[in-house]
Amino acid sequence: MKKMKIHTWRRVIQIGVAALFVILPILNQAGFNFIWGNFINIHVSCLTFSDPLAVFQVILKNHYMPIGLLLGAGMVLAISFFMGTIFCSWICPFGLLSELVNYFSSRMWPKKFSNRKIQTRGFAVKAAVFCTGFLVFWFFFNAPILNQMSMPFQYSNIFQYLFVQKYLSPAIWFMGAVLLAEFLVQTRLWCRWICPQSVLLAVVKRFSPFGLTIIFKQKNCISNKAPFPCRQACSLNLDPKRLSDWSLAQCSNCGDCVDACEKTGKALVYKFSLGNKI
């Protein structure tokens, strides 16, 4: 029996989560409450998973630490500590849409890979956006406004408004505009350069001494000529062979590069490790 690729498993989970948050408001209205909420607070039975950035804003602005929110954010950060930023590549519905847009864009007008520059400063730009947004929140707002920049939250909100309040959220037009821009420039702009929700997850991953990561075994690599399959497979325009420090933190552990590398010596592996190279 042929082994299923990481990419196949990931797509099944991504599509399942995206579909769940489309029908969840309808199920909740019908009395199904085992899972309810949105991507700021997701309640699964007695467990609550909270957006760490939302909790961070509440704590600093209101000067108190609600135990429930701390536990909810702590569970999300713990997942990132051990599993990396898998939320971005395995769970986030906007990540799914962004990947699909990037895929179709590259198929419609492919560029020569040799002319593509690997971007290395994406996290610095994202951190600057994070800090700027946080300063604006701190000085001018009482509500945690950075929540409004959460694409997964807005995705789930669209269907909550639509099916519960019979109202089409304006967020759908903003999300559509971002996806259109990504389609035109063939770059995953939001996930790579802007998304403030991913910053804390990336920081936790960066300083985790042990976790799921992509490991490059140079002695197994037999692909010596460009274009390298692993680099072509990365929708975030990272170089899987040279992941270290903050570029490693930005890797979403999607595993697409590992799948692409299987035919060229299996130089990339997907495993728990104390480092990014062995």
Rounded to whole angstroms, how far apart are CA atoms 160 and 37? 9
Q: Residue 228: its pLDDT value, please?
A: 79
DSSP designation for 277: B
Instruction: Write down the pTM of the prediction.
Output: 0.90
Average pLDDT over residues 104-129: 71
Rounded to whole angstroms, how far apart are CA atoms 8 and 252? 16
Beta strand residue intervals within 25-128, DSSP E = 35-37, 41-44, 47-50
Highest mean pLDDT: which range of 84-88, 112-116, 225-229 = 84-88
Identify residue 36 by its one-letter amino acid code: W
Average pLDDT over residues 85-96: 95
pLDDT band at residue 39 under the 50/70/90 scheme = very high
Average pLDDT over residues 68-93: 94
Using the predicted structure, report yes or no on whether residue 275 has a pLDDT greater than 70.
no
Rounded to whole angstroms, how far apart are CA atoms 114 and 105? 18
Q: Which residue has the tokens 């198929």?
A: 107
- Model pLDDT for residues 213-222, shown as the tens digit of each residue: 888 888 888 7
Q: What are phi and psi of 210, to 5 degrees?
A: -155, 130
Rounded to whole angstroms, how far apart are CA atoms 238 and 230? 9
Q: Which residue has the higher pLDDT, 210 or 100?
A: 100
Average pLDDT over residues 187-213: 90
* Structural domain boundaries in the chain: 6-209
**SS3 state of residue 26:** helix
Using the predicted structure, report yes or no on whether residue 116 has a pLDDT greater than 70.
no
Centroid of chain to Cα 151 = 10
pLDDT band at residue 65 under the 50/70/90 scheme = confident
